[in-house]
Amino acid sequence: MSETRKIRMVLKSKPTIEGAGVHLKRVFGFSEVPVFDPFLLLDDFHSSEPRDYLQGFPWHPHRGIETITYVLYGDVEHGDSLGNKGVIGSGDVQWMTAGSGIIHQEMPKGDDKGKMWGFQLWANLPAAEKMMAPRYRDVKSDQIPEVALDSGVKARIICGSVAGKSGPVTDIVTEPTYLDIRVPADTEYVHPVKSGHTVFAYVIEGRGAFCREKEPFGYEVKGASYFDMQREALVGKETLVLFEPGDQVFVTTEEEPVRFLLVSGRPIGEPVAWQGPIVMNTQEELRVAFEDYRNGTFIQHR
């Protein structure tokens, strides 16, 4: 018998500044480790004011993680220490496995109206894979399948499978799923998820109720007062829902549709030593990584 996941936690994203001065919303990060294992961080960068994002994320190192960038509107130019460079635009994804080390930059440019909207998710790597060779997977929008399901529900599949179709990003060690789902108004949708995996939904448009929860005081709320929550537990934009264990998730809408990112992955269950853009398992490994960076030996594979 299927077990519906209940809500474990609701988080409101918070404004912050990263890179050389990019204004964004931090959904979760360092303070939530290890609750989101294998995921480390989710940022929502969303603005129609170029001054909020044009300074971008100049050259910086990564080791021990994967960074997943999903663009809804605008362009992001990128380049790295291995000679890779290019642009990801509206609907595109870049799945970068930093592995043993890479130095790169990401410079948001916006669209012709100045609008920029995208997300960056950090996924941890297990100890056995932290020093793997770096790799990029730039995925164009037309390579990402979209499936139409019952009652008008639509899902873009970046990673994982829905209704027999699979996304273009495969062979990731934590077996992630990354979906962009739209549920029309006055609709209930049930989505199967892997038992034992960490699962969360991040609402980007509209409002929805998750897992038939009707009591908003029955789970932890971070980043907002309990009294800011609707009695029907309808979750609005820039809000994340983290789920308890189970093998399916319910989403219900009323007069508004809802659009959300649904992300899941297999927990790693290892110690996390994290400083800035580098995530390892021990403080000694962090010390070595930063020493490599200072000494010019950070890039292990070319």
139-158 per-position pLDDT tens digit: 999 999 999 998 899 999 99
Report which residue type is found at 45.
F
Average pLDDT over residues 187-209: 96
The answer to whether position 43 is within a domain reads: yes
The answer to whether position 152 is within a domain reads: yes
CA-CA distance, 12 to 276, in Å (whole number)? 22
| pLDDT at residue 134 greater than cutoff 80 | yes
| pLDDT at residue 50 greater than cutoff 60 | yes
Q: Structurally, how many domains does the chain consist of? A: 1
Average pLDDT over residues 52-60: 95
pLDDT band of residue 219 (cuts 50, 70, 90) is low
73-104 per-position pLDDT tens digit: 999 999 988 888 889 999 999 999 999 999 99
Report which residue type is found at 158.
I
| pLDDT at residue 220 greater than cutoff 80 | no
Average pLDDT over residues 204-216: 81
Domain extent for 281? 7-287
Task: Name the residue with higher pLDDT: 75 or 214.
Answer: 75
Residue 51: what pLDDT? 95
The answer to whether position 66 is within a domain reads: yes
| pLDDT at residue 175 greater than cutoff 70 | yes
The answer to whether position 295 is within a domain reads: no
pLDDT band of residue 212 (cuts 50, 70, 90) is confident
Our measurement of the distance from residue 148's CA atom to the centroid of its chain's CA atoms, rounded to an integer in Å, reads: 23
Report which residue type is found at 256.
E
Percent of the chain past pLDDT 90, that is, above it, reads 84
CA-CA distance, 148 to 22, in Å (whole number)? 35
CA-CA distance, 76 to 67, in Å (whole number)? 14
Q: What's the mean per-residue pLDDT of the chain?
A: 92
The answer to whether position 175 is within a domain reads: yes
Q: Phi, psi at residue 30, to the nearest 5°?
A: -55, -40
CATH number at residue 31: 2.60.120.10
Lowest average pLDDT, out of 26-40, 46-60, 75-89, goes to 75-89
Q: Give, for 283, the enclosing helix (H) or strand (E).
A: helix 283-295
Q: Give, for 150, the enclosing helix (H) or strand (E).
A: none
The answer to whether position 292 is within a domain reads: no
